[in-house]
Structure 1
Amino acid sequence: MNHSRRNFIRTTAALAAGTGLAGGLPASLYASHGKVAPSDRIRVGAIGINGMGWADLSAMLKNPQAQCVALCDVDKNVLEKRTAELAKQDIKVKTYGDYRKLLEDKDIDAVIIGTPDHWHCLVMTDACAAGKDVYVEKPIGNSIAECRAMVAAQQRYGRMVQVGQWQRSQQHFKDAVDFVHSGKLGKIRLVKAWAYQGWMKSIPKKPDSAPPPGVDYTMWLGPARQRPFNPNRFHFNFRWFWDYAGGLMTDWGVHLLDYALLGMQAEMPLSVMASGGKFAYPDDAAETPDTLTTVYAFDGFNIQWEHANGIDGGPYRRDHGIAFIGNNGTLVLDRGGWEVLPEGDKMEAVPRRKSVDNGVEQHTKNFLEVVRSRRAADLHAPIQAGAHIAVFAQMGDIAYRTGQKLYWEADKDRFKEAEANHYLAATYHNGYHLPKA
């Protein structure tokens, strides 16, 4: 971004926001682009565009100052599909199969990272080194060491980095936390967070095969260990294999446990223990547990995580949520709204207050505003916040994998238990190296 463009981005009025995130890109979204000169737009490249990367880009392009100039994906089929969708709206983009080539493009100001989790660290640190601002999907890393390296890269290069924990941009989540902080619930002894995923069915085992035509499987693997291609590990289902992600604990947990920590104004736990397994689908292809209960102990209260695949009937008859359980009442919060259930006559009930905004749209808007202003403190989910909750969720997975109750040594940034510390860093393969923190 040249000097005049930087000055414009720092001083232009607030971004306009659209309403309603859609999978496609209606032509009406781009009518307002004519109000902003092309030279004054924030030029965005998207890396990994099959799922949330595309949703993030779709939301970002509802802001007239954002201009998509490049796409990158290791699957040519996805790349061609998304390029064609943009072309229908008269948006022409450069395309890349290797993200490093995209980062060499001096015409790009900021990037969206929507790759599988095991790629987040390398792409984000390389993007910062290349002088790009970054919107990176959650969880930011696939290990505690990756999270530390990503924070260090942001600090080293001074880039604006937003983590895709979009609930931090929704008003009703902020209102709920304000109510928790008011003290009206009384002493809170337990916070529950949960994700019950009735839609998540068994993943039948499939034989290894050749990668689909157009897929650069070597690039898809990147730093993960070499394995023959298997369709169960590709695209969406990568989430259920340890090489690439951490299951529901890190996929949904970083969203919901984040608000458990915000509500309790908590940092790191004294201890963590977890119990669960593949109870729903013991013989399917997934590695991560489909049923899990994790307990984080703090001074004076506990935070409990639950998840279960194949079941929708979670606590309070909600398939996801956070419950702050106090002596006077319980506040139940989810993506649709929040309410307070009184404990007898100790307090007044608060009827459900519904969500009134679109989190992804508000979150991408916030990122673009900060790209302009260069005020990192205005980010709703800076890399430090993303790292905090990603580390917290990783602790739960590590407790499950070791089968031990673990004790965290905050001053040393590690566990007391040697076996658990083997999981602190992801092992990199194929000539890739973990960035230095």
Structure 2
Amino acid sequence: MEQFNINRRRFLKGATATLALSALGASGLDFIYPAKPLRVALIGTGWYGKSDLFKLIQVAPVNVVALCDVDEQMLKGAGEMVRQRQASHQTPKLYKDYRKLLAENQLDIVLIGTPDHWHALQTIEALKSGANVYVQKPISVDVLEGEAMLATARKYNKVVQVGTQRKSTPHLIEAKKNIVDAGLLGKISHVEMCCYYHMRNNSNPPLQAVPEYFDYEMWTGPAPMRPFDGMPHVRWWRAFMEYGNGIMGDMCIHMFDTVRWMLQLGWPKRISSTGGIYVQKEGKSNIADTQHAIFEYDGLNCVWQHRTWGTPADPKYPWSFKLYGEKGTLSGSPMSYDFVPEGNGTPIHKDVVYEKEKYPEDLQEPGIELHAAPATRLHMLNFLEAIQKGSRPVADIEEGHISTASCILANISMKLGRPLAYDPQRKIVINDPEATALLKRPYRGPWVHPLA
């Protein structure tokens, strides 16, 4: 065995990063990697897929051997970018079909950055091929997909890290350790979470011909086939429930997952939600522009609110969570946190950590979220440590499943107009056959829905 610490030492400069890594349970500068670099593939070479891959390249000796995408132009561009970034300067093999990629390569890690409707099938097949998986959130588009993903990870004893990197965000790790765990909030009896970004695509493009370089049939896969009205993978797909779960599945999962981690919460006892398209009715999008949801626990409600119109309730925290305790309030977001104590205590503020000087190549990455880059790097290190030790990562597939499924159940509650209580052992909604039937979406043939 040979030790590879160069990138890790580079990453861990500074007290904040060291504190963050310590809080995640990492063991210092002692990772031992195999003598050969880890063999990596990426399925889905769009914006965030490439971003995740580049953060992995920055913190570990890896060999990116294969890339897959149904957009030939995007795939070729990604291949050249990876060639420039990775140490070997080799261009990865390029594939249009992820099944061929998995069959022809023996991989240590597969990163999945495809749209939500593909996460389940690709994760399950990657696990069966012998790889560990880093999959973007939400893990699935229906609850039973998530159950199947969890069962497969456990059956093959592989590590699955979910891209809920708020758990690896240095200032939020600090807030959990020094404020929540230290008891500065006292008893916490209410949580509010929100997103007020104007992020819902409300356009109305005309139908058009599918470009020759884009395989729309394969892109659609198990989802319903919509008439082609533009390149869906350039964030247009998020406007449709056919491929995801709206703002709830895209943005609530991050904040709800963070709150569950901070407060050590499992499955909610009951979930209810109301909402719909109240304002932005002129476009094609069918996701809710306004939604309210309640995730109930004993003595605690976690309340979500999103609007893709109007102004945020707190302009400083437009996408955030707030923990209300008897001794004070903690507001947190990807950009900062603020603790405001009751009475005459001292407020505490902390901003996001940037690493632009340490990683100048970040500045050349198109569309990069600079504030999220340190969190993703730390998330990758935690993933690698879990692979090395055979342990569960901080964003283990089970935690990703609970957070994802809870948001999906909120959407089902909104659709049916009543509260729901999910039983993960029996995989049913208690005393509600109609809701139970909605735990599994129909698949478009020839694709077959996975079973737990």
- Give the TM-score, by structure 1 length: 0.87
Partner of 2:353: 356
- Mark the CA change 1:411 to 1:151 in structure 2 (over 3 Å): closer, same or farther: closer
Tell me how far apart the structure 2 counterparts of residues 313 and 81 of structure 1 sit (CA, whole Å).
38
Q: Is the 8 A contact 2:41 2:67 kept in 1?
A: yes
Partner of 2:413: 399
How many Å apart are 1:39 and its aligned residue?
6.5
Amino acid at match of 2:438: Y
How many Å apart are 1:370 and its aligned residue?
3.2
Give ranges in structure 1 of 5+ residues lacking alignment. Answer: 1-6, 21-35
Tell me how far apart the structure 1 counterparts of residues 122 and 423 of structure 2 sit (CA, whole Å).
30
Amino acid at match of 2:67: L
Q: How does 1:42-191 map to 2 (within 5 A)?
A: 42-89=38-85, 90-178=89-177, 179-191=179-191
Partner of 1:291: 290
Tell me how far apart the structure 1 counterparts of residues 295 and 334 of structure 2 sit (CA, whole Å).
23
Partner of 1:193: 193
Tell me how far apart the structure 1 counterparts of residues 451 and 6 of structure 2 sit (CA, whole Å).
36
- Mark the CA change 1:17 to 1:142 in structure 2 (over 3 Å): closer, same or farther: farther
Q: Is the 8 A contact 1:312 1:318 kept in 2?
A: no
Partner of 2:305: 306
| Alignment deviations for residues 369-389 of structure 1 (CA, whole Å, 9 cap, x no partner) | 333x14223x12111111111
How many Å apart are 1:79 and its aligned residue?
0.5
Tell me how far apart the structure 2 counterparts of residues 14 and 195 of structure 1 sit (CA, whole Å).
39
Give ranges in structure 2 of 5+ residues lacking alignment. Answer: 13-31, 355-373
Amino acid at match of 2:383: F
Quick check: 222-231 or 406-415, which moved more? Answer: 406-415
Tell me how far apart the structure 1 counterparts of residues 228 and 315 of structure 2 sit (CA, whole Å).
41
**Correspondent of 1:16 among 1, 8, 29:** 8
How many Å apart are 1:69 and its aligned residue?
1.4
State the identity %.
29
Amino acid at match of 2:420: L
Partner of 1:408: 422
Tell me how far apart the structure 1 counterparts of residues 189 and 136 of structure 2 sit (CA, whole Å).
32
Partner of 1:368: 384
Tell me how far apart the structure 2 counterparts of residues 349 and 308 of structure 1 sit (CA, whole Å).
33
- Mark the CA change 1:131 to 1:411 in structure 2 (over 3 Å): closer, same or farther: closer
Tell me how far apart the structure 1 counterparts of residues 169 and 266 of structure 2 sit (CA, whole Å).
22
Number of residues of Structure 1 aligned to a counterpart in Structure 2: 409
Tell me how far apart the structure 2 counterparts of residues 279 and 97 of structure 1 sit (CA, whole Å).
39
Q: Is the 8 A contact 1:314 1:320 kept in 2?
A: no
- Mark the CA change 1:341 to 1:39 in structure 2 (over 3 Å): closer, same or farther: closer
Tell me how far apart the structure 1 counterparts of residues 196 and 70 of structure 2 sit (CA, whole Å).
32
- Mark the CA change 1:66 to 1:232 in structure 2 (over 3 Å): closer, same or farther: closer
How many Å apart are 1:226 and its aligned residue?
2.9
Quick check: 200-209 or 268-277, which moved more? Answer: 200-209
Q: Is the 8 A contact 2:107 2:130 kept in 1?
A: no
Tell me how far apart the structure 2 counterparts of residues 183 and 88 of structure 1 sit (CA, whole Å).
48
Partner of 2:227: 228
**Correspondent of 2:446 among 422, 431, 436:** 431
Q: How does 1:206-285 map to 2 (within 5 A)?
A: 206-231=205-230, 233-285=232-284
Tell me how far apart the structure 1 counterparts of residues 283 and 75 of structure 2 sit (CA, whole Å).
30
Amino acid at match of 1:385: E
Q: Which runs of 4+ in 1 moved over 4 A?
A: 11-15, 17-20, 36-39
Tell me how far apart the structure 1 counterparts of residues 383 and 33 of structure 2 sit (CA, whole Å).
20
How many Å apart are 1:411 and its aligned residue?
5.2
